[in-house]
C-alpha cells in the first residue's frame, strides 16, 4: 500500500527515484503476499538454513556410528566393552562442554526447574538406551545394515510430530519415507552372513536377532528427536540437553557394572577413541539442536537416511566392506529424494 503521507521532494527529482520507489512497492507487495500465505522471506531462508544444518547433523551422525565399529575393530574386544566406552565418552562430553560454557560465559537451565518435566527425563533416558543398542548392532552387521535396521524411525517421528508437536502433516513426507525405505531394502538385501566366522548362524536367525534389537532402537531414536524438539520449543538451552543426558549415562553405566557384572575397561586406546567420539557426538548433537529452532521436525524425516549413506560409504572406503550394485542404487535413491525435497520444499 502506498503511503498517502509520503512527502516527495520535487527539488531532488530524478528518473531513478520513481523506479526505486516502484521496485520498493512491488517488493513490499510480494512480501505481504508471502505473509498472507504464512511465510516470510526471512522465515523461508531460516527454514532452509535449519534444514541444511539438520542434513549436516545426519552426515556427522553417520560418521559417529561408523566410528563405533572402527573403534571396536581397532582396539580389539579384549580392551573394550560398551558400558566403559559410554561412561568415559560422557565424562569427556561434560568436560568439553563445561570448558565451552566458561569460555563463552554461557549458562545452563537449573536442574530444579527441569526435574518435573517429563520430556526432560525422556530425553535423558533415551540418550543412554539409544547408544547401547547401536553399539551392539554394529557388532553384528555391516555398518550400513546396522543403521538400516533403525531406518523406520522417520515413520514413527512423523506420527509423534503430528500428535505431540501439532505440526502440519504432508503426504509428501510419507511418500518420501517409502521411497527412502525402498533404498534401504536394496542396501540391506546383500547382508545375510555374520562377520564373526566363529559364531555360525543362519542368515534368517541372524537378521531376526538384529531386527528386534533394531525395533527397540528405532523407538529410542524417534523419542530422542521428539523430546529434543519439545525441549527446544520450551526454551531449554543446548547446554542442558548436552550435560544432563551425559550425567544420566554416567550414572546408568556405573550401575551396569554392578548389575550386569561387567568389567570396567580403561586402556589408552579406548580413552583416545572415547575422546574422539565425544567431539563427533557434540558436533552432531549441537547441529541438530540448532536446526530444531527453525524447521518443523516432520520436514526433516527423510534427511535421517543421510546417516545411512554416510555409514555405507565410510564402511566401504575405510573398512573395505563389500559393495554391490544394489548398495549404490539404494544410496542414489535416498540421496536423490533428499536433494529434491530440500531444493523444492512443499508449499
Residue 84 lies in a domain: yes
> Quick check: is 31 in a domain?
no
The answer to whether residue 18 is domain-embedded is no
| pLDDT tens digits, 225-243 | 999 999 998 889 999 999 9
In a domain, 28, yes or no: no
**Owning domain of residue 92:** 59-343
Domain annotation covers residue 75: yes
What digits encode the pLDDT tens for the residues 280-334?
999 999 999 999 988 888 888 878 878 878 887 888 888 787 777 877 787 788 7
- Residue 181 is assigned to a structural domain of this protein: yes
Does residue 205 lie within any of the structural domains? yes
Q: What is the pLDDT of residue 195?
A: 44
Per-residue pLDDT reduced to its tens digit, 144-182: 566 666 666 777 787 788 888 888 877 877 888 788 778
Does residue 45 fall inside a structural domain? no
Q: Residue 264: which region, alpha, beta or left (left: phi > 0; alpha: psi -120 to 50)?
A: beta
pLDDT over 60 (residue 95) = yes
Q: How many domains does the chain have?
A: 1
Distance, in Å, from the CA atom of 285 to the CA atom of 287, rounded to the nearest integer, reads 5
Backbone angles phi, psi at 261, to 5 degrees: 55, 50
For 53-56, the CB contacts below 8 A with 24+ separation are 53/287, 53/288, 53/290, 53/291, 54/287, 54/288, 54/291, 54/292, 54/295, 54/300, 54/303, 55/303, 55/306, 55/338, 55/342, 56/287
Amino acid at each position: 500500500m502506498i503511503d498517502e503521507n509520503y512527502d516527495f521532494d520535487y527539488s531532488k527529482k530524478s528518473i531513478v527515484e520513481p523506479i526505486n520507489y516502484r521496485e520498493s512497492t512491488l517488493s513490499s507487495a510480494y512480501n505481504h503476499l508471502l505473509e498472507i500465505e504464512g511465510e516470510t522471506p526471512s522465515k523461508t531462508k531460516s527454514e532452509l538454513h535449519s534444514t541444511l544444518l539438520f542434513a549436516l547433523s545426519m552426515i556427522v551422525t553417520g560418521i559417529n556410528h561408523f566410528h563405533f565399529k572402527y573403534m571396536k575393530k581397532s582396539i580389539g574386544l579384549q580392551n573394550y566393552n560398551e558400558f566403559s566406552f559410554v561412561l568415559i565418552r560422557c565424562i569427556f562430553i561434560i568436560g568439553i562442554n563445561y570448558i565451552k560454557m566458561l569460555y563463552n560465559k554461557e549458562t545452563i537451565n537449573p536442574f530444579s526447574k527441569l526435574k518435573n518435566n517429563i520430556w526432560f527425563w525422556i530425553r535423558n533416558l533415551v540418550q543412554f538406551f539409544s547408544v547401547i543398542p547401536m553399539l551392539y548392532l554394529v557388532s553384528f552387521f555391516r555398518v550400513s545394515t546396522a543403521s538400516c535396521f533403525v531406518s523406520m524411525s522417520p515413520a514413527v517421528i512423523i506420527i509423534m510430530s503430528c500428535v505431540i508437536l501439532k505440526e502440519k502433516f504432508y503426504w509428501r513426507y510419507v511418500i518420501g519415507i517409502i521411497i527412502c525405505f525402498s533404498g534401504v531394502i536394496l542396501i540391506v538385501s546383500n547382508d545375510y552372513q555374520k562377520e564373526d566366522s566363529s559364531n555360525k548362524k543362519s542368515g534368517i536367525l541372524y537378521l531376526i536377532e538384529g531386527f528386534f534389537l533394531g525395533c527397540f532402537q528405532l523407538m529410542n531414536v524417534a523419542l530422542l528427536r521428539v523430546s529434543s524438539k519439545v525441549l527446544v520449543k520450551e526454551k531449554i538451552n543446548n547446554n542442558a540437553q548436552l550435560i544432563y543426558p551425559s550425567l544420566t549415562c554416567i550414572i546408568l553405566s556405573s550401575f551396569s557394572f554392578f548389575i550386569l557384572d561387567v568389567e570396567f575397561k580403561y586402556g589408552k586406546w579406548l580413552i583416545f577413541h572415547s575422546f574422539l567420539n565425544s567431539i563427533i557426538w557434540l558436533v552432531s548433537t549441537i547441529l541438530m539442536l540448532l536446526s530444531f529452532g527453525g524447521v518443523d521436525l516432520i520436514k526433516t524425516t527423510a534427511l535421517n537416511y543421510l546417516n545411512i549413506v554416510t555409514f555405507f560409504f565410510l564402511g566401504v572406503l575405510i573398512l573395505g566392506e563389500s559393495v554391490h550394485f544394489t548398495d549404490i542404487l539404494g544410496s542414489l535413491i535416498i540421496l536423490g529424494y533428499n536433494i529434491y525435497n530440500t531444493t523444492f520444499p512443499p508449499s
